[in-house]
Structure 1
Amino acid sequence: MATIVQKFGGTSVGSLERIEAVAEQIIATKGQGHDIIVVLSAMSGETNRLMSLANAIDEQPSPRELDMLLSSGEQVSISLLAMALIKRGHSAVSLLAHQIGLKTNNRFNKARIQDIDNYRIIKELQQGHIVIVAGFQGVDEEGNITTLGRGGSDTSAVAIATSVNAKECQIYTDVDGVYTTDPRIDESAKKHSHIGFDEMLEMASSGAKVLQSRSVEFARNHNMPLRVLSSFSKGTGTRIDFEQQKDKKHPVSAITADNNQALIKIEKIKPNNHFSVAILNELAKADIEIDMLSQLAGSDGALSIYFSVNEVDYQQSLALSMAVANNYGHDSVIGQQDLVKVSAIGNGMKSHSGVAATLVQTLNNENIKIELIYAAEIKIAVLVSNKLMEQSVTKLHKIFNLNSIN
């Protein structure tokens, strides 16, 4: 008998009818002889509703109190699912994060998991219960409720699966697997039957919304196989693990797009060894994550620094950059919004040359201006105008022949 962790997202439990359907799916898995741990998100739209209530009181609510509020959404969904299972004659128990000892740091609104005491979960499983856990939430060392950020239920599920040495962590969502690109952008997109952790991590951090990037990182670090499945249709989904598929015909496995990007340009900086460090330190203090970063030196020794951030951090990043620049006697700070990061991702890049050249040439042929480019071992990413997102994705998906992946 194996232990299986199944996570269901907000759309999967978005109504009472959907919760009843999820109960049937869980019973079917239980019938195969498995111990089942279920991790749930709040019902679809509930977190946004709670957020709007908070903003109606205070546009910048207390982070601690916001976590207290937002964490209530999952309590509703787990209790309703437990009722649905009990009604069907199955023993089930719903548990909040503090009841299973899911410990996090104290970074409210985007906490990170530090430890899980699996005693309560194991005890409930041994008694034959289906264990239903609230995702997205934890508790810090002082007993404060914390939340893990958007998509945090994925990370909850992976962490719980790791703590009980589960056979697999299954992520049920509204899509039936991981695709070569977003099917809503390009209908020729193909579903992968299998993909490696490294590729999935790059995809998740580059705009693919199937999985939260931290959940993939957690799974990779603890070698916990993932499977993305649809809660609306049957199928085997996409398996994600350390096994790498070698496809000589397809050095690129996916094209992703993240349209929540902004760019900061600091130009004509007089030679100064401390300026770049000062900028980066200020952003780090503000807990702002830099995505793409480029530093160029001109023939006269002057520097130009370009970096991208999520658009939610744009205004603060721009203000901090201007403040640092002024301290060093510079005033050439330019901000640019309405950008999209388009990325080509694939393990095949390790053994294939020319991917970057093909990508840049394809966009040039389409008269798509590249604002910034970034290259890594298995990813090439560019920033382009948000208006050109669909055109960029479809052209690159076609040029790399991804509609022929089996």
Structure 2
Amino acid sequence: MGLIVMKFGGTSVATPELITRVARRILATKKEGNDVVVVVSAMGDATDELESMAAKISGEPAEREMAILMITGERVSAALLAIALNELGQPARAFTGWQAGIVTDSGSPLRAKIRRIEATRIREALREGSVAVVTGYQGVTEDGDETALGRGGSDLSAVALACALKADACEIYTDVDGVYTTNPRLVKDARKIRAISYEEMLELASMGAQVMQARSIEYAKKHGTVIHVRSSFSEAPGTVIREADTAMEAVVVRGIAYDMTEAKITVRGVTDRPGVAATLFNRMAQAGINVDMIVQNVSEDGITDLSFTVTRPDLKKAMDSCLLIQRDIGAREIVADEEIAKISLVGIGMRSHTGVAAKMFDTLACHGINIEMISTSEIKISCIVREAQAETAVKALHTTFALDREGDEY
């Protein structure tokens, strides 16, 4: 009937029993007459455990060796799943990223970008009637060095393979049955969204929603690959991620994301003159640090403060980089703050509706929540607040914007 790419996350393949269950689901899809390519993540928390082991040996392990370490988890789950399928009578072949022909750049071994996919061996397996089981999260450079595609990179592997193979469907299986208005574990009244635009999903993923990797959504949008996010543990329909339409734009706020993995750095008492910001953020770029939000205070007597946020894993490297240029930029002191959270409202309806920011700020004020930083785009408003107040903020905003009401989603 068609070619289906199915991706299963770590919770879906966390145990041998769950792997067998996933194999049965794949077999059912195959028996419907489909060719099937499967992408798998590492079992359960295997990637976190590998990272933790490395941290016990070195505070700053080399990225190349970390990439080689981190991609081993997916190989275990891919091999076991292929074994399970063969045990059920369905021929299956497991492929590593390089065997699948996923070629990446050589810029960052842990956050490599896909250049192209040479899926010759996968196509051969499909012609033989086998299910191709591919390790997610990894590829190989032109020079033969293995690379990782960044945390959550198995999503990107699946989307990229679906595009390269011109698949009829790309299904992402996880432990929730779709994309919700916010994390249903935090807000019990959160609702599943039937369809969401690439833009909205990209913003939610970038702002902390953990359903899918942001880079995978960018890739899907660029190539027009429709994604269906579903639960591994039920047959219920999930959430379709696709191009926006006019009906989607009627919803002002589609969802709320929160991120408690960021930290704030404040450069205090810096001279307010041209070139200071350039010097500071060039240093961040040279260190390979992604900067998120930036705020500069109003200058007083030629002196100002400049604050910006980075991910907590990058905090030490960012602070070290700042301290190296502290004298050059004339900063009085540089301080770090890890007790922050970012709360974001997302919706393409913001383009045509006014008052969203005012309503958000008023809600936070009514709950005694101070806003430390603000960032906006056409379809997003983000605020930095105290980490201890993040849960209160998300619940209050979810109620204020009526995201708990049926019938408001597309």
Asked if Structure 1 and Structure 2 have the same fold, meaning a TM-score greater than 0.5 normalized by the shorter chain, the answer is yes
> Which amino acid counterpart does residue 378 of structure 2 have in structure 1?
E
**Of 35-44 and 244-253, the range deviating more from structure 2:** 244-253
Alignment of 1:49-88 (within 5 A): 49-88=49-88
Give the corresponding residue for 1:353: 354
Change (3 A) 1:43 1:305: same
Give the corresponding residue for 1:403: 404
Query: What is the aligned length?
Result: 406
Alignment of 1:99-114 (within 5 A): 99-106=99-106, 107-114=108-115
Give the corresponding residue for 1:2: 2
- Deviation string 1:3-48 (CA, Å, 9 cap, x unpaired) is 1100001110011110110011111111222111000111112222
The whole-number CA distance in structure 2 between the counterparts of 1:58 and 1:332 is 29
Give the corresponding residue for 1:40: 40
C-alpha displacement at 1:383, in angstroms? 0.4
C-alpha displacement at 1:276, in angstroms? 0.5
Q: Secondary structure at the match of 2:359?
A: helix
The whole-number CA distance in structure 1 between the counterparts of 2:90 and 2:329 is 67
C-alpha displacement at 1:315, in angstroms? 2.4
Decide whether the 8 Å contact of 1:228 with 1:239 is kept in 2.
yes
The whole-number CA distance in structure 2 between the counterparts of 1:32 and 1:185 is 38
> Which amino acid counterpart does residue 149 of structure 1 have in structure 2?
G
C-alpha displacement at 1:319, in angstroms? 2.9
Decide whether the 8 Å contact of 2:269 with 2:332 is kept in 1.
no
Decide whether the 8 Å contact of 1:195 with 1:244 is kept in 2.
no
The whole-number CA distance in structure 2 between the counterparts of 1:238 and 1:43 is 24
Q: Secondary structure at the match of 1:203?
A: helix
C-alpha displacement at 1:140, in angstroms? 1.0
1:21 equivalent to 2:21? Answer yes
The whole-number CA distance in structure 2 between the counterparts of 1:335 and 1:75 is 38
The whole-number CA distance in structure 1 between the counterparts of 2:354 and 2:283 is 37
Identical columns (%): 40
Decide whether the 8 Å contact of 1:250 with 1:402 is kept in 2.
no
The whole-number CA distance in structure 2 between the counterparts of 1:46 and 1:181 is 26
Decide whether the 8 Å contact of 2:251 with 2:348 is kept in 1.
no
C-alpha displacement at 1:85, in angstroms? 1.0
Q: Secondary structure at the match of 2:384?
A: strand
The whole-number CA distance in structure 2 between the counterparts of 1:323 and 1:55 is 24
> Which amino acid counterpart does residue 111 of structure 1 have in structure 2?
A
- Deviation string 1:281-308 (CA, Å, 9 cap, x unpaired) is 0000111111111234436554432211
Change (3 A) 1:50 1:270: closer
> Which amino acid counterpart does residue 191 of structure 2 have in structure 1?
K
Give the corresponding residue for 1:154: 155
Give the corresponding residue for 1:130: 131
The whole-number CA distance in structure 2 between the counterparts of 1:371 and 1:68 is 39
Give the corresponding residue for 1:201: 202
Decide whether the 8 Å contact of 1:6 with 1:172 is kept in 2.
yes
Give the corresponding residue for 1:379: 380
The whole-number CA distance in structure 2 between the counterparts of 1:270 and 1:42 is 48
Q: Secondary structure at the match of 2:98?
A: helix
The whole-number CA distance in structure 1 between the counterparts of 2:317 and 2:158 is 32
Decide whether the 8 Å contact of 2:264 with 2:309 is kept in 1.
yes
C-alpha displacement at 1:207, in angstroms? 0.8
Give the corresponding residue for 2:12: 12
> Which amino acid counterpart does residue 117 of structure 1 have in structure 2?
E
Decide whether the 8 Å contact of 1:252 with 1:348 is kept in 2.
yes
- Deviation string 1:183-208 (CA, Å, 9 cap, x unpaired) is 11110000001000000000001110
Decide whether the 8 Å contact of 1:322 with 1:331 is kept in 2.
no
TM-score of the pair, normalised by structure 1: 0.96
Change (3 A) 1:4 1:18: same
> Which amino acid counterpart does residue 213 of structure 1 have in structure 2?
A
Give the corresponding residue for 2:228: 227
Q: Secondary structure at the match of 2:189?
A: coil
Q: Secondary structure at the match of 2:111?
A: coil
The whole-number CA distance in structure 1 between the counterparts of 2:135 and 2:248 is 39
Gaps of 5+ in 1: none
C-alpha displacement at 1:247, in angstroms? 5.4
> Which amino acid counterpart does residue 54 of structure 1 have in structure 2?
A
Give the corresponding residue for 2:331: 330
Change (3 A) 1:292 1:404: same
C-alpha displacement at 1:66, in angstroms? 2.1
> Which amino acid counterpart does residue 199 of structure 2 have in structure 1?
D
Change (3 A) 1:405 1:321: farther
Decide whether the 8 Å contact of 1:169 with 1:224 is kept in 2.
yes
Change (3 A) 1:332 1:102: same
> Which amino acid counterpart does residue 395 of structure 1 have in structure 2?
A
